[in-house]
Every structure is written in structure tokens, then in C-alpha cells.
Amino acid sequence: MTAGNNGADTPENDDPFAHLYRSEGGEGGSGSGVGAARQPGVPRTSYNQVRAVGERQYGNQQGPPAYNRPNPTYAAPETLPGNGGGDRTRPAPAYGQEPRKGRNGLLIGAVAVVAVVCIGIGVAMLTNSKDSTSDTADKSGPTAGDSVKPSDSPSTKPSPGQLPKDDAGALRLDGGATTAKDIPGARTASGSYVTNMNNPGAAATWTLDVPKSGDYTVFIGYGVPGKEANSTLTVNGNASPRPINMGNFANAADGDWAKGWTRTFSWIQLNKGTNTIKISCEQNNKCDFNLDQVWLKAGHVKN
């Protein structure tokens, strides 16, 4: 068996599908085509004919095959209006990176905001400083160059923890009582004392404050001319039925006023706050005495 002859005597026997591409005339027929009768001993020729790509036609179609036709709906971006057609080579920014022009705009905006905030803070600080200076200037009070007058508060205001003590001349005087300095030995800083107490109705009234209600002892400094005396004690408007004993405790000679300075005391009750203590010459009192000081102690004491 040779090439082109595989033992079949006719192409029909050799290729069962030969009738599909052979003309109807067949062997010895009247049609033309590739279906001519095979001659014995002549190698068979291929029933396929090579054609150029796109040359084969199907039915009545004209023109190039579909895969070579241009797509009428597609157009390159550079051919669209407004794209300029010549900026195809500009590199795109890296991922996450804004274009340089956009970053510059953001940076300028941030700097402007910071500048506005700084200016606002500066204005606020300047305004507060001016207000503080104005408030300080409006406040009145002594400075290093000013002189401060001593307090005019009465001497009946004791220091904290101390009870009041006063010169008799600082008390309120009534009924002809007055001050003098003729007799030496008075225990006041100025040497003054209250005199003319031997007239009925003469009185010296002491107004004082105490921190709490309770028992107190009032001490009275006085002087007699070597003989006994007494007076009336009135506390907050209530006169005591027992007179104040003003004896010659200094043992001064008769008529010696300078040697007769001494002291006496009386137990009393006071209210918290302001109280009044009056030493007066009333009927039936022996009022030949002078007053130099009064002071107070807490509780019922003798010294």
C-alpha cells in the first residue's frame, strides 16, 4: 500500500465525508468542482484548499471579518474634546500622594489658620493685661510711700485673747465728773484721773465687749485721802444693792491723796457682746474718791 492509496478503490470508500465537499456531479457527473474521479495509481489530492485569513466568505457577507472591523463606539481618551491629545505622557501621582498644587494649597491654608489663632490669642492677652492694670489702678489702699493713720477704734477693743482695760479718763463722764492731773501717782500713761466724784449723780460709764456670757470680775483703780469711801455699781442698767467698797487699803495718812492710790473689785455677770458698767455717786454713798483705771478678768477672782 502506497501513500495516497490506503487500499480503497474510490474516494467514497476512503473518506466517508467526501460527499460533503464534492460537487453533485460526482464521479463522471456534469458538475465541476473538486469531486472528480480518482484515477487508479494517482495519489489523492487534498480536498482542503488554503485561503488567506479573512478571505473566506459566508453567505452574502461583504467586507472584512467581524474581528477586524473597528468598534464604532470606542474612542481613545486623547481623541476626546478637551483632553488636548498631547498630555498622555504625564506621570500619575503615587498612591496616597496629593498633586503638588493641592498640597501647596492645603499648606497655605493651614499656615493662615495658625496665624489667625496666634493673633487672636495675642489680642486677648493684651486686653486682659490692660483690664488687670485698670483694676489695680482703681483699688485704693496704702502703699510703701503712703502714711497710715493709727486706728481710731476705742481702747475698749482688746487684743485677741485679752479682756478690756481702760483709763478712767476714756470713760463717759456725767454729773459733773471731770479729769485732772494735779495729784501724782495715778497709774495712767498720761497721769490723768477722774475727779469731782463726790457730787451726787456724778458717774463714769464704761462700755465694753466680751466674747461670751458668764462670770467676770471688774477691777477699779482709785485713790482716797486716807479714809474709807464707797460707790454704786450698775451693770447693764441693773444697780447692785451692795455698794463698791473703796477702803483705805494703801494705809495713807489722812488727807494724803498721793499715797492713797489702790484698787478694789466686784464680781459681776456679763452678756456676750457689748455691756455697760457704771460707777456712780448715789444717795447714801461716801464719794470722796478719784478714779484712774478699770479692767476686767474672766471668772470670779480676787487678783
**Among residues of the chain, what percentage have pLDDT more than 70?**
54
Residue 266 covered by a domain: yes
Mean pLDDT for all residues in the chain: 73
Most confident of 61-65, 119-123, 128-132, 281-285: 281-285
Residue 59 covered by a domain: yes
Rounded Cα distance between 86 and 226, Å, is 137
What's the domain range around 3?
1-81
Least confidently predicted of 147-156, 183-192, 244-253: 147-156
Work out the pLDDT band at 234, boundaries 50, 70, 90. Answer: very high
- Return the exposure string of 71-100: e unless at least 16 CB atoms fall within 10 Å of the residue's CB, then b: eeeeeeeeeeeeeeeeeeeeeeeeeeeeee
Residue 91 covered by a domain: no
All three cell numbers of 228, joined, read 474709807
282 and 177 co-located in one domain: yes
pTM score above 0.75: no
Residue 153 covered by a domain: no
Rounded Cα distance between 265 and 118, Å, is 77
77 and 169 co-located in one domain: no
CATH value at residue 231: 2.60.120.260
* Per-residue pLDDT at 60 exceeds 60: no
Choose one of 81, 115, 145: the last residue of a domain: 81
77 and 199 co-located in one domain: no
Rounded Cα distance between 273 and 287, Å, is 30
Q: Given this model, what pLDDT does residue 153 score?
A: 34
Q: What proportions of the chain, in percent to the nearest 5, are helix, strand and coil?
A: 20, 25, 60
Q: Given this model, what pLDDT does residue 221 score?
A: 97
Residue 100 covered by a domain: no
Residue 176 covered by a domain: yes
169 and 272 co-located in one domain: yes
Residue 241 covered by a domain: yes
76 and 169 co-located in one domain: no
* Per-residue pLDDT at 200 exceeds 80: yes
Rounded Cα distance between 52 and 45, Å, is 20
Choose one of 28, 48, 81: the last residue of a domain: 81
Residue 148 covered by a domain: no
Tell me the pLDDT tens digit for each residue of 105-125: 677 877 888 887 778 887 777
Total number of domains constituting the chain: 2
Choose one of 23, 53, 81: the last residue of a domain: 81
Q: What is the 3-state secondary structure (H, E, C) of 133-172?
A: HHHHHHCCCCCCCCCCCCCCCCCCCCCCCCCCEEEHHHCE
